[in-house]
Amino acid sequence: MALKSTIFKAELQVSDLDRDHFATHSLTIARHPSETDERMMVRLLAFALNADEALEFGRGLSSEDEPDLVKRDLTGAIDLWIDVGLPDERAIRKAAGRAREVKVYLYGGRSAALWWSQNEAALGRLRNVSVVEIPDSVAGQVTALAERTMRLDCTIQDAQVWLAAGGETIHFEPVQVK
């Protein structure tokens, strides 16, 4: 018998002064049985960093060739494709051909650095691909905020991020690798 996804609810208030986006997003996040809380929370963080009314969670781990987050235009064309973790370089190249913009959010400390050193040459040639690393200590702190029902406040200004929940505030700057 197959295991079912665990459902998480998040109310995410985003104040992105860099992009002039101010909204509250009510999100339902399905965490695949093989997905860790850390990966799920980095997906949520990626949503906050790119928040938009048209941005939605993809099918993620349960289906290949699908982004973790996707933003489509009114015609259904993919404006933004977001992958989280250490995706296959060929999948990123394929996504770059299908979407106007592709973002990869790395996490995992040394594993992320190793992934980038192995894929830098191939991905460096793709103009519409950007790679952002979430510092390892931040991924751990964000993971500690994971609850079945969450309320998070995210403020972004001058590429600095403040994520607050339950009286705790995490401050960091995502590392723009490419």
pLDDT score recorded for residue 4: 84
In the predicted structure, residue 56 carries a pLDDT above the cut 90: yes
* Residues contacting residue 92 through CB under 8 Å, at least 6 positions apart: 83, 102, 104, 119, 123, 126, 129
Q: Hey, what's the torsion of the CAs at 64, 75, 98, 173, to 10 degrees?
A: -80
Contact 111, 139 (CB under 8 A): no
pLDDT score recorded for residue 61: 57
pTM reported for the whole predicted model: 0.93
SS3 sequence, 20-67? CEEEEEEEEEEECCCCCHHHHHHHHHHHHHCCCCCEEECCHHHCCCCC
Rounded to 5 degrees, φ, ψ at 12 are -115, 115
* Residues contacting residue 116 through CB under 8 Å, at least 6 positions apart: 106, 131, 133, 177
In the predicted structure, residue 169 carries a pLDDT above the cut 60: yes
Summarize pLDDT for 60-70 with one digit per residue, the tens.
Answer: 655 667 899 99
Q: By percentage, how much of the chain surpasses pLDDT 90?
A: 86
pLDDT score recorded for residue 60: 60
Q: Indicate the pLDDT class of residue 59, thresholds 50, 70 and 90.
A: confident
pLDDT score recorded for residue 113: 93
In the predicted structure, residue 100 carries a pLDDT above the cut 90: yes
The domain segmentation of the chain, as residue ranges, is 6-176
Superfamily of domain 6-176: Restriction endonuclease-like alpha-beta roll domain (3.10.640.10)
**Nearest alpha carbon to residue 19 among 133, 178, 161:** 161
State both tokens at 154.
């995210």
Contact 34, 62 (CB under 8 A): no
